[in-house]
Structure formats: C-alpha cells, structure tokens
C-alpha cells in the first residue's frame, strides 16, 4: 500500500532554512487524482496545514506561511520537498507529509510517520 516517509535534519538553527523531503512508495506521485501536502504539529498543540503540491508543480500555501515556504516535486524520484526559510523557535514541530484527495472533501490520507524538527542554536 502507499507509504510516505519524511527525511531531513532534526535540528535547525534560528534564521536558517528548514528542508525536508517526503519519499512516496507503493504508488506514483504523478497521479492526476491527488495532491501532496505538508502539515505540522508543534509539541502539545494542534495541526497546521503548510501547503500542497500537484505532480505538475502547481502549489498552494497557507497564507500565514506563504512568504517563507517553498514546496517542490521531483517526479523522477517520487518525492516532494518542503523548504521553510528564516525559522524561529515557533517553527519547532513534528512535520508530516501526506497525500491529499480532493474529491468531496479535501482530506489527508495516508500520512507519513512524521519527523520532529527543533529550531535551536
């Protein structure tokens, strides 16, 4: 079945750029049915959608993060990536990647296991 796996540094310094990659296995990222998304969860807090991408490269972002976020896709590697610039301690969170299905009610399923990124000097 479809699986997603996040990878990237677990520690990022303030003002630097957070970079994560999501590798999709068991299915093609080039499906016309799905978008692919990033969601984060600060420790002990709720979930926040960061942004999503289609295999063609079409993106849409949460306006609250848009000025700092870039999501890209590499169909040859079946991966998509997140870059978040100028990070602060407020960006410390577990970052999840997930497949997004638009039909009826846009929803995320399945999710990767998540990766904790800590912003600290």
Partner 1 sequence: DIQMTQSPSSLSASVGDRVTITCRASQSISTYLNWYQQKPGKAPKLLIYAASSLQSGVPSRFRGSGSGTDFTLTISSLQREDFATYHCQQSYSSPGTFGQGTKVEIK
Q: Using CB under 8 A as the criterion, which residues of the chain lie in contact with partner 1 when the complex forms? A: 45-49, 60, 62-64, 96, 98, 104-114
Residue (31 or 65) nearer to partner 1, CB: 65
Name the residue with tokens 């978040």: 84
Residue (11 or 106) nearer to partner 1, CB: 106
Q: Quick one: the chain helix, strand, coil %, rounded to 5?
A: 5, 50, 45
Residue (74 or 109) nearer to partner 1, CB: 109
Q: What is the CA radius of gyration of the chain?
A: 14
């Amino acid at each position: 079945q479809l699986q997603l796996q996040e990878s990237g540094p677990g520690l990022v310094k303030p003002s630097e750029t957070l970079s994560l990659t999501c590798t999709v296995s068991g299915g093609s990222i080039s499906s016309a049915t799905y978008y692919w998304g990033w969601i984060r969860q600060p420790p002990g807090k709720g979930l926040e959608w960061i942004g999503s991408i289609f295999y063609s490269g079409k993106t849409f972002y949460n306006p609250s993060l848009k000025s700092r976020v870039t999501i890209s896709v590499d169909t040859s590697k079946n991966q998509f990536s997140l870059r978040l610039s100028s990070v602060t301690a407020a960006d410390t969170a577990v970052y999840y990647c997930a497949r997004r299905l638009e039909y009826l009610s846009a929803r995320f399923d399945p999710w990767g296991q998540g990766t904790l990124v800590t912003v600290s000097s």
